[in-house]
A and B are shown apart, each in its own frame.
Chain A
Amino acid sequence: MFVPETSDLFSIIDDQKIYFCSKACQEKYTSPEKEHRKLKRRLTVAWSLAIPIILIEYLLPAGDVLGQMNKDLILFALTFPVQFYSGLGFYDGAYHAFKSRSGNMDLLISIGTLTAFIFSTFITFFPGSIPGSEVFFDASAFIITLILTGNFIENLTKKRANRAAQKLLSLIPDSVHLLKENGEVEDVPAGDVEEGNILVVRAGETIPADGVIVEGRSDIDTSTLTGEQNPVLAEEGSKVSSGTVNLNGVIKIRVTGAGKNSTVSQIYDLIQKAASGRAKVQRVADAFSAIFVPVVMALAVAAGLFWFFYLRSTGSGLPVEIAILAFVSVVVIACPCAIGLAGPITLLISSNKASQNGIIIKNGSTLDRLGRVNRFIFDKTGTLTDPDPVISDISVADGQDLKEVMAYASAIEASSNHPIAKAIVNHAKSLEINIPSARDIKEHPGKGISGTVNGKNINITRANTAGGSSVSVEIDGTRAAVISLRYRVREDVEKTVRYLLGKGIKVSMVTGDSREEAERVAGILGIRDIHAEVLPSDKADIVKEYQLKGDYVAFVGDGINDAVALEVADTGIAMGSGSDIAQESGDIILLRNDLKSVVLARTLARRTISKIKQNIGWAIGYNAALIPVAGGALVPIFGLSMYMFLPILAAFAMGMSSSSVVMNSLMLSRALEKEWKKEKVHL
């Protein structure tokens, strides 16, 4: 909710000043469990007193055993704890609002209930001073009780909405197996782990920190982080993430990120931060809230004065009492809590839902822009195609054995970091070829690599071709094989691109590769707008050119290498390599190596923005419609007696308004499931 920075209700968390609209909001954020328990206590006290209050008020006739004054005293005594213990949170927040010269929900509730309470107390101790007036302790008691109940429900549903994020935190085990320098393994608390530590992770255990495998190999289940169902093979040198599950082999990892620096923690923080983003439409709500409280106070006073003078002039009786009740009703019914809640709760639910599908939204304000995107620009290598080339064909010369040639080739290539070298070595491994050792390795930059294996001279020449590379392997001077490699277009990319094109969305491709290769890939995918042979530094300029023409552009690329283009685009979508989320640029990070998430993210953005608009519209409309009722618009129909319970009804309506916004937002989750299911059929 909008809070002026003159407020002193703030906390410093992670070097950031975060402001709060009320004491309750602050406590909710900083120590939710404690706040929840406090709320529960106050609520229990409130309800256990409110019910007797209302029973005594209405069922115990006055002229009875007790006498009017005694009855009032009992009510006073019962209401006192509700007013000053259960209602404590409101006064605290009200005080802060007052100090910063702004209005908030706490201020309104405090004014409303205190007015009712003070008036009733006055009548109790000075009976007859205001002719005909009765006490209405039930009003102030119930206002507090019902608004607290609304807060409680809101709290519970928010916890439910934040399930995905909370599940993440629960993934980290409490203790880990630390490999000490003397070779012993000791169990230590997870919180003590530091970068550089070596940890042992056994089969079935959850990996407690980000790291690199230094010994062992295993299948890793990453579904807890990304929702990806297929396990990923990891071996020495592979990076692994905290929160994933080590399936079947014992591994030792060297920690690269622990605690707050671990992927799990970073994702959790991002999900929470996304909820504090502000979509453009929320600015309407903010502007509304800013003027709200003063306007409401003015209307409440106007209503009170109106009834006072009207009733006095017509001699209908009870002018003071009705005036006060009208004032209290308007103040209470106008509580702006739902308006302030609408945006944040929707974003919270949205970002949780997204993260369950491996889509990390870094900032809620990005969703506006993503919803408007009419052009997607894809970087080619690593996004549309595999990041590294793969072997597409091996043609072996007569008299040569494929496995033997591969063994020689990979023996030499094993010492090179070239993507082609890695592809060859990987292929050999997949054919279960034993890779012999090589000597006298010489790299010839731009040409290839050579060396000696088992006494034979092996010479490897690498050449670029349209669509990939061609590698020639010579053994002792004779051409032994030609290995063809290409950058394979990733699975499902074609379906995603055609889906987008089918929706009328423009699709472009940029790449540093040759025009030929670019056109080959674009042809497979149906992309007509191609920018080839582009320098990395020019990608951002291409994005800007389209923006100047009026397009809303989403750039999809690598989080690290395409940083500038990602930042310049209206929405930057990074295909997360998952290694260090904090380093990746872009508004959205896709943890699954799956381009369909791009479509799912776009749908999420549009549905979320429309849900926020719905919620804000509902909250404002709800308030606006009920203010006249509180002011007395229905009195001609129902008579003045409706004021006897109008304050309570007002409190009920307001307690429910925030809950109804929350529940409406929960429906976003369901709606997204359904729409995604339909889309996945095409993707």
Chain B
Amino acid sequence: MAIDVVCGMKVKETTDIKAEYSGKTYYFCSTHCKEEFEKNPLKYTR
């Protein structure tokens, strides 16, 4: 179980909605959260 770094929800790692950043994979509960993440990944990963 991963955590969506944008909204804090728990997400299964089998989801299609994911993104790579700095060598790590991040999973999201929705495309909305993924889009938010992609606007500025640094904001959510530090």
Contact = CB atoms under 8 A, between A and B. Distances in A.
B39 interface: yes
Contacts of B43: 369, 547, 568-570
A568 B40 CA distance: 6
A547 B42 contact: yes
B42 A544 contact: yes
A548 interface: yes
Contacts of B7: 277-278, 365
Interface in A1-21: 2, 4-5
Interface in B1-46: 3, 7-10, 12, 36, 39-40, 42-43
User: Helix, strand, loop or mixed for chain B's interface?
Assistant: mixed
Contacts of A567: 36, 39-40
Contacts of A369: 43
Q: Which of B7, B12, B36, B43 has the most CB of A within 10 A?
A: B43
Interface string A544-555: 100110000000
Given A2-B10, A278-B8, A365-B8, A283 B39 contact: no
Contacts of B3: 283
Contacts of B10: 2, 4-5, 286
Contacts of B39: 564, 567-568
Interface string A283-320: 10010000000000000000000000000000000000
Contact of A544 (B8, B12, B36, B40): B40
Interface residues of A, number: 18
B42 A282 contact: no
A547 B46 CA distance: 10
Interface in A549-586: 564, 567-570
B6 to A, nearest CB: 8
Interface in A70-110: none
A548 B8 CA distance: 23
A282 B7 CA distance: 12
Contacts of A282: 8
B23 to A, nearest CB: 17
A2 B4 CA distance: 13
Interface in A262-289: 277-278, 282-283, 286
Nearest to B29: A5
B8 A277 contact: yes
Contacts of A4: 10
A342 B3 CA distance: 20
Contacts of A277: 7-8
Contact of B8 (A283, A568, A569, A570): A283
A365 B44 CA distance: 11
9 contacts: A4-B10, A278-B7, A278-B8, A282-B8, A283-B3, A283-B8, A564-B39, A568-B39, A570-B43
